[in-house]
Amino acid sequence: MNDPGYELLLWVRGPGWILALAVFSFGMAMRLFEIFALGRREDLAPPRPAERQGSPMRTVWNRFFPVPGLFERAPATHVSGYLFHIGFFAVLFFAEFHIQLFRHLLGFGWPALSAPLADALGVVAIVALLAALVSRMRDPVKRFLSTAGDYLAWALTFLPLLTGWMAYHHVLVSYTRMVALHLLAAELLLALLPFTKLIHAVTIFVARWYTGEQFGRKGVQA
Amino acid sequence: MGEHGREGDGLERWGALWEERTGLSRRGFAQLCAWLAATMTLTSGGVGRVAEALAAAPRPPVIWLHFQECTACSESLLRAHYPTAEQLILNLISLDYHETLMAAAGKQAEEARRATMKNAKGKYLLVVEGAIPARPFCRIGGQDAEAILKECAADAAAVIAVGSCASFGGLPAAEPNPTQARSVAGLIGKKPLVAIPGCPPQPAVMAAVLAHYLTLGRLPALDQLHRPKAFYADSIHDRCYRRPFYDRGQFAASFDDEGARKGWCLFKLGCKGPVTHNACATLKWNEGVSFPIQSGHGCLGCSEPHFWDNGSFYAPLSTPIGESGLSTGVAAAAGATLGAALAGGYRKVIDQARSEARPVTLDDLEKSS
């Protein structure tokens, strides 16, 4: 005699979370140590110009903005990409329920977005992700370049957003079941993030820094 | 004369019978019938059936067993207001065995139980309060709890598990469950079962389930946890008067801040209302005076399974249960070790390739072309 939704909720709040966090920590430590311990071949050429200009941090920051001319060539990619990332980070870090989780993990919290605004930004992220998928499947070049890993990354990102929105609005199934599915989807995302392209959430900053550093040495604008 | 007129006639007639039988007022009888019909979600035509059943039907014998519990379920029942505990016990049912309430003791009490089981075979209701431990814990009259339950359930018309301990194991079954306590469900075979969880359960729900059986001769519609749908279909959150604050994202952050004083949602203070199914927000307690959320405390989720093991009562639902620090640290250390080992392996391959590399000469290129 049990309620599968309620039992699942208990599992995802307990053992499921501990497991997902352990897999995430294992995977992230493994990937990052792999990258950093491997290192790069020593560059024996003297840096050019001799006086270093700027910091690699500039590249990390500059690349948050589109390369001039590229936006016009791929507007769908840019618009869906920006809207998704803004919406996703807004709900992940500024929805009240998630801040409670961070407060539990970190010992401190921060002010939340108002519920209607967080809700709207979640919808923006969902719509943007759907648009990105349609664009990926309809554009012959993107479709050709896409692998199963890309679609997996899309699904892993989309499901927590969708189930979170459905739980908040009590859509389709009971809140208990939907919030259990939401937590399960979020834990899947967490556990698989280091092993998929989603690791770019961390490595993108490493890559940008490295690019900025290398281009700076060579005297090229990054 | 319309249906309501006929209804009135029926109530009058059965009320007179009730008055003759119990000495209680017809007005009180009419109120009781209407209240029970409403809690059973019967239409207005059902009031007459309730009246007939209460006034004329034979009172079903009830055996009420106590196992691992704190008697709060019985205490709760004693605070029922429609019907009152006296009305329920003296007029609606024949409470033949109840360890807390009966005057008899020892051998005499056990004989009363066995006499009911024999004389009302297949007709009596078995109410169970408390979880059932493994042998040798909880022995009564020389018999252990499991044997008593199985013996009594064998010839019962139905079994009613009152409280979270009988329904789901409750506190006695909480980790580490030293007595291997269990709920009723796994021990009574296919016998019809109604679970009325809660710590304690709503007195009105207990009364209404008994009245439903008395009136309609069958058990009410149940959910997958055997709880009566009429009372457990909605979550506390669905019916909470603070729900609009949740929807607007207005939460009390402590028990004495401005949000708490304004009556905002208690989600951040650990309220389990969104995942708890019970009728507290509608029936309320103490004759409809209040319920925990109304008094400023979040719902504990007491009518759901394992509620003692669901983490702190004061931790928000969006936070994890249990300690993850050690496993996360060990996993990270293992990952770092493996990552470094992999990098070491790649480096060896690269170094070997470099050491074996030879400059390409013009002759080499001519040969390959």
Domain annotation covers residue B110: yes
Kindly report the CATH number assigned to the domain that includes residue B186: 3.40.50.700
- List the single residue in A with minimal CA-CA distance to B347: A38
Cβ separation of B226 and A1 shorter than 8 Å? yes
Q: Of A2, A37, A176, which is closest to B339 when you measure between CB atoms?
A: A37
Provide the pLDDT for residue B2.
43
Cβ separation of A21 and B342 shorter than 8 Å? no
CB-CB neighbors (< 8 A) of A114 in chain B:
248-249
Provide the pLDDT for residue B85.
76
Domain annotation covers residue B144: yes
E strands along chain B, which residues? 61-66, 94-98, 125-129, 139-140, 143-144, 158-162, 193-196
Provide the pLDDT for residue B217.
80
Domain annotation covers residue B343: no
**Same structural domain, B243 and B216:** no
Q: Nearest-CA neighbor of A156 among A133, A179, A174?
A: A133
pLDDT at A3 over 60: yes
Q: What is the pTM of this model?
A: 0.84
Cβ separation of B249 and A29 shorter than 8 Å? no
The string of DSSP codes covering B98-137 is ETTT-S--HHHHHHHHHHHHHHTTTT-EEEEESBBPPTTS
Domain annotation covers residue B324: no
- Hey, what amino acid is at A12? V
Q: Which of B265, B285, B309 is the last residue of a domain?
A: B309
**Same structural domain, B98 and B221:** yes
CA distance A29 to A46: 33
**Same structural domain, B99 and B12:** no
Q: How far apart are the first and last CA of chain B?
A: 112
Cβ separation of B331 and A29 shorter than 8 Å? yes
**Same structural domain, B12 and B116:** no
Q: Of A17, A30, A176, which is closest to B320 when you measure between CB atoms?
A: A17
CA distance B351 to chain A (A): 11
Torsion (CA) B2, B6, B12, B15 in degrees, nearest 10: -130
Cβ separation of A33 and B336 shorter than 8 Å? yes
Q: Which of B57, B75, B101 is the last residue of a domain?
A: B57
Provide the pLDDT for residue B24.
67
Q: Of B226, B320, B343, which is closest to A14 when you measure between CB atoms?
A: B320
- List the single residue in A with minimal CA-CA distance to B308: A10
Would you state the structure tokens that stand for residue B40, as one six-digit string? 């059973």
Domain annotation covers residue B6: yes
Q: Name the residue range of residue B19's domain.
A: 1-57
Domain annotation covers residue B120: yes
Q: List the alpha helices (DSSP H) in A107-147.
A: 115-138, 140-145
CA distance B189 to B184: 10
- Span A121-144, mean pLDDT? 95
Domain annotation covers residue B319: no
Kindly report the CATH number assigned to the domain that includes residue B305: 4.10.480.10
Q: Which of B286, B309, B332 is the last residue of a domain?
A: B309
Q: Nearest-CA neighbor of A33 among B349, B348, B343?
A: B343
Q: Nearest-CA neighbor of A58 among A183, A212, A215?
A: A212
Q: Of A1, A22, A29, which is closest to B327 when you measure between CB atoms?
A: A22
Count of residues in chain B: 369
Residues 6+ away with beta carbon under 8 Å from B145: B67, B68, B132, B133, B137, B138, B139
**Same structural domain, B182 and B284:** no
**Same structural domain, B240 and B301:** yes
pLDDT digits (tens, 9 = 90+) for A13-47: 999 999 999 999 999 999 999 999 888 878 888 87
CA distance B187 to B199: 21
Q: Side by side, which strands form the sheet with B158-162?
A: B94-98, B61-66, B125-129, B158-162, B193-196
**Same structural domain, B113 and B257:** no
Cβ separation of A175 and B275 shorter than 8 Å? yes
**Same structural domain, B157 and B121:** yes
**Same structural domain, B122 and B256:** no
CB-CB neighbors (< 8 A) of A90 in chain B:
none
Q: How far apart are the first and last CA of chain A?
A: 62
**Same structural domain, B51 and B75:** no
Q: What is the pLDDT along chain B (369 residues), one digit of tens a residue?
A: 344 445 556 667 767 776 776 666 777 777 777 777 777 666 666 777 777 777 766 788 999 999 999 999 988 888 877 677 777 777 778 888 988 888 888 888 899 899 999 999 999 999 999 999 998 899 888 899 999 999 999 999 999 999 999 999 999 999 999 999 999 998 998 999 999 999 999 988 888 888 788 777 888 899 989 999 989 999 999 999 999 999 888 999 999 999 999 999 999 999 999 999 999 999 899 888 999 999 999 999 999 998 898 889 999 999 999 888 899 999 999 999 999 999 999 989 988 998 898 888 888 888 776
Provide the pLDDT for residue B134.
92
CA angle B180, B185, B190 (to 5 degrees): 140
Cβ B146 vs Cβ B187: under 8 Å? yes
**Same structural domain, B39 and B75:** no
Provide the pLDDT for residue B1.
37
Pairing of strands B158-162, B94-98: unpaired
A166 vs B10, higher pLDDT: A166
**Same structural domain, B69 and B212:** yes
| Tokens 């080992």 sit on residue | B341
Q: Of B268, B331, B344, which is closest to A23 when you measure between CB atoms?
A: B331
Provide the pLDDT for residue A151.
96
CA distance A74 to chain B (A): 37
What's the structural domain count of chain B?
3
Query: Which DSSP symbol is given to B91?
Result: I
Cβ separation of A115 and B304 shorter than 8 Å? no
Domain annotation covers residue B326: no
CA distance B315 to chain A (A): 9
Using CA atoms, how far residue B262 sits from B132, B294, B347, in Å, is: 44, 12, 64
